[in-house]
């Protein structure tokens, strides 16, 4: 069985590195982008992703604005919003159709594993 593919879209390189390392240890294939433009490029040119970890605030826009575009391109992809702002994150999740889960920074292996289990990945 082929490994599930996950795109990490966050402007913090350390978050991308740490999350990618953790996910690879758990058996997932990962890729990353540091802004919306590069993230869209990867979504349009790479083979399909199963999950996107999407930061709320990116240098070239708001991550949640990309959710409808992601869902239109890849109907079965799961989207997990990530942010350090818990209250804002919960509000965005309730107001934005297509966000499958959310997680606040900082996160750990246990919280990531729970998100993946909740999403059946």
Domains and CATH numbers, the chain: 5-118 (3.40.50.2300)
DSSP string spanning the chain?
Answer: -PPPEEEEE-S-HHHHHHHHHHHHHTT-EEEEESSHHHHHHHHHHSSPPSEEEEESEETTEEGGGGHHHHHHH-TT-EEEEEES-HHHHHHHHHHSTT--EEEESS--HHHHHHHHHHTT-
pLDDT over 80 (residue 114): yes
Going by pLDDT thresholds of 50, 70 and 90, the confidence category of residue 113 is very high
pLDDT digits (tens, 9 = 90+) for 40-94: 999 887 678 999 999 999 999 988 888 998 988 888 999 999 988 877 667 777 7
């Amino acid at each position: 069985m082929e490994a599930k593919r996950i795109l990490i879209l966050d402007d913090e390189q350390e978050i991308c590195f740490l999350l990618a390392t953790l996910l690879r240890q758990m058996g997932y294939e990962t890729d990353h982008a540091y802004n919306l433009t590069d993230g869209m490029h990867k979504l349009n040119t790479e083979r399909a992703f199963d999950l996107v970890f999407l930061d709320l605030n990116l240098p070239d826009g708001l991550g949640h604005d990309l959710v409808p575009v992601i869902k239109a391109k890849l109907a079965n992809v799961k989207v997990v919003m990530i942010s350090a702002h818990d209250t804002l994150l919960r509000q965005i999740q309730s107001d934005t159709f297509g966000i499958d889960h959310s997680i606040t920074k900082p996160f750990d292996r246990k919280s990531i594993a729970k998100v993946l289990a909740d999403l059946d990945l």
